[in-house]
Structure 1
Amino acid sequence: MRRLPAPIITVALAITLLPTAGCSNDSESAKGTVAFSDGELVQSGSIEFRSLKDGSRYASRITSLGAFRLSDGDGRVHLPPGEYEVVVVQVVLTEDLAADAHEHGRTVPRKYADYYTSGLRVTRLAEDTTPMQVVLEPDI
Structure 2
Amino acid sequence: MKDCLPLKTIFGIAIALTILVSGCGSPVGTYEGRVLFDDGSPVQSGSVEFRSLADGSRYASRIAADGKFALTDQDGDVGCPPGDYEVVVVQIVLTEDLAAEAHDHGHTVPRRYADYYTSGLRVTNAKDSELPLSITLETSDG
Q: TM-score, normalised by structure 1?
A: 0.79
| 1:73 alignment partner in structure 2 | 74
SS of 1:39 mapped into structure 2: coil
CA distance in 1, matches of 2:85, 2:133: 12
| 1:33 alignment partner in structure 2 | 34
The within-5 A match list for 1:1-40 is 26=28, 29-40=30-41
What displacement does 1:76 show?
A: 1.2
Q: CA 1:22–1:104 in 2, change beyond 3 Å: closer, same or farther?
A: farther
The superposition leaves residues 52-94 of structure 1 with CA deviations (integer Å, 9 ceiling, x where unpaired) of: 1111000000001110000101111111111100000001111
Segments of structure 1 that go 5 or more residues without pairing to the other structure are: none
CA distance in 1, matches of 2:46, 2:133: 17
| Aligned partner letter, 1:50 | R
Answering whether residue 63 of structure 2 is matched by residue 50 of structure 1, we say no
The superposition leaves residues 14-62 of structure 1 with CA deviations (integer Å, 9 ceiling, x where unpaired) of: 79xx6xx969x84x70000000011001111000000011110000000
Segments of structure 2 that go 5 or more residues without pairing to the other structure are: 1-7
User: What CA RMSD, in Å, does the superposition of the two structures yield over aligned residues?
Assistant: 2.6
The superposition leaves residues 90-123 of structure 1 with CA deviations (integer Å, 9 ceiling, x where unpaired) of: 0111112244321432211111000011000001
* Number of matched pairs: 128
| 2:3 alignment partner in structure 1 | none
| 1:127 alignment partner in structure 2 | 128
Q: CA 1:99–1:112 in 2, change beyond 3 Å: closer, same or farther?
A: farther
Structure with the greater alpha carbon radius of gyration: 2
Q: CA 1:22–1:32 in 2, change beyond 3 Å: closer, same or farther?
A: farther
